[in-house]
């Protein structure tokens, strides 16, 4: 691929390639702290400093800069094109009706995390949840009880950096299950490869499917569009309490205002995703042991309880899923692999477009990420002529509109 890789963490950030996962901040120790940049996402700052700790290991673990399937890490799973390594596909739901109701899909990510602890396999789960002191933002917590793990149920379509708190995993007694977006999980895998102390303490990784992280400003816009004052917000929920659930805002008076998931996601949230997500090939958590998404392969009835699609990617993931099923934490069954493609029908085209977008960035002299064993060119070749032209001409236009030739975030 044409184009140069960023050579330091500040360059990753300046080049609009940061996913906001926080892995560099964990690896670099005190040299970097994650901050929420309202209109962009969470970023490692100070970005102006360039020293050894911001290249080396911090750069090596960055999923924004590079994603690679290493054959030795595939655990026997065949690489299935745009779906990554897949051993099996299930459709499942939590057997706890409250978790299933509050979960984004079937509450499966939560049920897997809770089961890891209640079965004694792990002593905690590293999860993202709403910040109790700032309900429009998220925090990362290592939860250790059924009650605290299940309280973190639900997708937060807003910036989150779970990897910045990998110190909690490394320092804990026993193992920790990790839940995060595909980029977060790819970063964890990179860190575990160079930090044996972390690898020893890691239970399975669970990725939630992700089409991109919207900024905090996007949530603020949604809140205002519902007529609620930002200062008066007590809680924000993006989904749940039904499937796929509504975007809901509660104000100090207790009043709850809402809009449908489709209204929130298809409008403001989609438009305000960070740039790196638009050139991401991994929307289904290819580097996880298990990944969980919505089974959109069929129409969902109005009051239907939630279900989750579960992709088994490693033997450790399969063992964790089967144990949760046999212990009654989950219910569900094996389903045909075609259901994956039927659930995410536009994914092949999206990945094809990603190849054209990265090519355009390289031709414009911008820094680009490197993807290895993550096939995309043949998907670009399969796009209709219009799709090919859009992936290049459209990217050129958007890159200029977004100012990709200028640093994404200025130094504080
Ligand atoms: C930004 C974003 C984009 C998404 N895009 C898609 C998509 O394109 N297709 C699709 O099928 N589904 C998408 N989802 C939904 C997600 O895949 C569903 O949450 C998934 O089906 C799991 O549902 P569940 O009921 O099993 O999870 P739950 O049981 O509700 O648990 C969700 C878990 O995810 C963790 N979590 C929530 N938000 C974040 C976050 N921002 N970063 C890291 N961890 C988090 C929570 O801590 C919790 O452990 C997206 C979610 C997010 C946050």
pLDDT, tens only, 184-239: 999 999 999 999 999 999 999 999 999 999 999 999 999 999 999 999 999 999 99
The whole-model pTM stands at: 0.97
Task: Determine the distance separating the centroid of ligand 1 and the alpha carbon of 161, expressed in angstroms.
Answer: 14
Q: Considering the domain boundaries, does residue 403 fall inside one?
A: no
| Nearest Cα residue to atom 37 of ligand 1 | 155
Distance from chain centroid for Cα 278:
13
Q: How high is the pLDDT of residue 354? A: 97
Of 343, 370, 396, the position where a domain reaches its end is 343
According to the model, what pLDDT value does residue 51 have? 52
Q: Which of 64, 85, 129, 55 lies closest to 375, judged by CA?
A: 85
On whether residue 149 sits in a domain, the answer given is yes
**Which value, to the nearest 10 degrees, does the dihedral of the CA atoms of residues 291, 296, 297, 298 take?**
140
Query: Are 226 and 293 part of one and the same domain?
Result: no
Same domain as 168, residue 267: no
Cα pseudo-dihedral 292, 295, 297, 303, rounded to 10? -170
Name the 3-class secondary structure at 178. strand
| pLDDT of 356 higher than 90 | yes
Q: What is the mean pLDDT of residues 107-121?
A: 98
Domain assignment present for residue 20? The answer is no
Domain co-membership, 183 together with 312: yes
Percent of the chain beyond pLDDT 90? 85
Count the Cβ atoms, other than its own, within 10 Å of residue 255. Answer: 12
Task: Say if residue 337 is in the same domain as residue 193.
Answer: yes
Q: Does 1 score more than 80 pLDDT? A: no
- What pLDDT does residue 48 have? 53
258 and 325 together in one domain = no
Does residue 4 sit within a domain? no
Q: Is residue 301 part of a domain?
A: yes
Among residues 131, 126, 120, 118, the alpha carbon closest in space to that of 179 is found at 126
**Same domain as 310, residue 185:** yes
**82 or 214: whose pLDDT is higher?**
214
- Indicate whether 92 and 182 sit together in one domain: yes
Q: Where are the beta strands (DSSP E) in 299-376?
A: 308-312, 330-334, 370-372
Pair 281, 133 in one domain: yes
Q: End of a domain among 271, 286, 303?
A: 271
Least confident range from 70-79, 222-231, 263-272: namely 70-79
Is 87:314 a contact under the CB 8 Å cutoff?
yes
Pick from 251, 250, 262: which is nearest to 296 by CA? 262
**What is the structure's pLDDT at 322?**
98
- Nearest-CA residue for ligand 1 atom 21 is 293
- How many domains, in total, are found in the chain? 2
Ligand 1 — pocket residues by CB below 6 A? Answer: 103-110, 113, 127-129, 152-157, 160, 162, 179-181, 184, 208-211, 213, 283, 292-294, 308
Helices and strands: H and E segment counts in the chain: 19, 15
- End position of a domain, from candidates 312, 343, 374: 343
Question: Which atom, in ligand 1's list, is nearest to the CA of 106?
Answer: 25
Q: Residue 31 falls within a domain, yes or no?
A: no
pLDDT band at 244 (very low <50, low <70, confident <90, very high): confident
**For position 165, which CATH number holds?**
3.40.640
Q: What residues does 139 pair with on adjacent strands?
A: 129
- pLDDT (0 to 100) of residue 128: 98
Q: Do 288 and 317 touch, CB atoms closer than 8 A?
A: yes
206 and 162 share one domain: yes
Q: How far apart are CA 30 and CA 291, in angstroms?
A: 32
Please tell me the distance between residue 405's alpha carbon and the centre of ligand 1 in angstroms.
31
- Is there a domain that residue 37 lies in? no
- Whole-number Å distance, alpha carbon 121 to ligand 1 midpoint, is 23
Q: What are phi and psi of 144, to 5 degrees?
A: -125, -5
Percent of the chain beyond pLDDT 70?
97
- Comparing 44-53, 226-235, 392-401, the range with the smallest average pLDDT is 44-53
Among 23-27, 51-55, 396-400, the least confident range: 51-55
Best of 103, 155, 284, 350 for a ligand 1 pocket test (most atoms within 8 Å of beta carbon): 155
**How close is the Cα of 51 to the center of ligand 1, in Å?**
35
Which ligand 1 atom minimizes the distance to the CA of 208? 17
- pLDDT on residue 216: 98
Q: Decide: 353 and 141 in contact? Cβ < 8 Å.
A: no
Task: Inform me whether the pLDDT recorded for 50 exceeds 60.
Answer: no
Q: Is residue 308 part of a domain?
A: yes
Q: 321 and 225, same structural domain?
A: no
Q: What is the mean pLDDT of residues 384-411?
A: 92
Phi and psi at 199, nearest 5°, equal -55, -40
User: How many angstroms is it from 101 CA to the middle of ligand 1?
Assistant: 14
Q: Which domain holds residue 264?
A: 216-271
How crowded is residue 149: how many other Cβ atoms within 10 Å of its Cβ?
28
Query: CA–CA separation, 251 vs 230, rounded Å?
Result: 9
CB 77 within 8 A of CB 88: no
- From 20, 158, 179, 208, the mutation candidate for ligand 1 (largest count of ligand atoms within 8 A of CB) is 208
Same domain, residue pair 210 and 279 = yes
> Are 101 and 153 contained in the same domain?
yes
């Amino acid at each position: 691929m044409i184009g140069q890789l960023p050579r330091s963490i500040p360059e990753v950030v300046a080049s609009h390639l940061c996913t906001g996962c926080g892995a560099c901040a964990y690896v670099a120790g005190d040299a970097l702290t994650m901050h929420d940049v309202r209109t962009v996402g969470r970023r490692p700052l100070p970005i102006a400093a360039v020293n050894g700790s911001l290249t080396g290991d911090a750069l090596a673990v960055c999923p924004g800069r590079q994603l690679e399937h290493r054959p030795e890490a595939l655990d026997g799973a065949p690489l299935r094109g745009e779906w990554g390594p897949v051993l099996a596909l299930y459709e499942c739901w939590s057997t706890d009706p409250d978790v299933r109701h509050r979960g984004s899909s079937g509450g499966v990510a939560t049920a897997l995390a809770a089961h890891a602890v209640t079965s004694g396999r792990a002593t905690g789960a590293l999860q993202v949840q709403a910040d109790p002191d700032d309900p429009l933002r998220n925090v990362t917590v290592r939860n250790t009880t059924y009650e605290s793990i299940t309280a973190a149920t639900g997708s937060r379509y807003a910036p989150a950096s779970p990897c910045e708190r990998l110190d909690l995993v490394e320092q804990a007694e026993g193992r920790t299950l990790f839940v995060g977006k595909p980029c977060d999980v790819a970063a964890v895998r990179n860190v575990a490869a160079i930090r044996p102390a972390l690898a020893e303490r890691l239970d399975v990784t669970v990725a939630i499917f992700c089409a991109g992280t919207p900024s905090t400003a996007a949530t603020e816009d949604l809140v205002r569009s519902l007529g609620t004052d930002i200062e008066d917000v007590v809680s924000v929920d993006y989904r749940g309490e039904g499937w796929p659930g509504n975007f809901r805002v509660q104000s100090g008076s207790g009043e709850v205002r809402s809009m449908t998931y489709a209204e929130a996601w298809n409008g403001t949230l989609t438009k305000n995703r960070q740039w790196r997500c638009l050139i991401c090939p991994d929307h289904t958590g290819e580097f996880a042991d298990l990944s969980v998404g919505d089974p959109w392969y069929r129409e969902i009835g109005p009051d239907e309880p939630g279900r989750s699609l579960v992709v088994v990617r490693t033997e450790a993931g399969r063992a964790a899923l089967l144990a949760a099923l046999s212990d009654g934490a989950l219910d569900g069954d094996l389903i045909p692999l075609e259901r994956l493609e039927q659930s995410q029908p536009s994914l092949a085209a999206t990945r094809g477009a990603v190849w054209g977008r990265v090519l355009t960035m390289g031709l414009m002299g911008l820094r680009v990420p490197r993807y290895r064993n993550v096939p995309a060119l043949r998907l670009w070749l399969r796009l209709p002529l219009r799709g090919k032209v859009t992936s290049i001409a459209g990217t050129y236009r958007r890159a200029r509109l977004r100012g990709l030739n200028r640093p994404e975030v200025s130094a504080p």
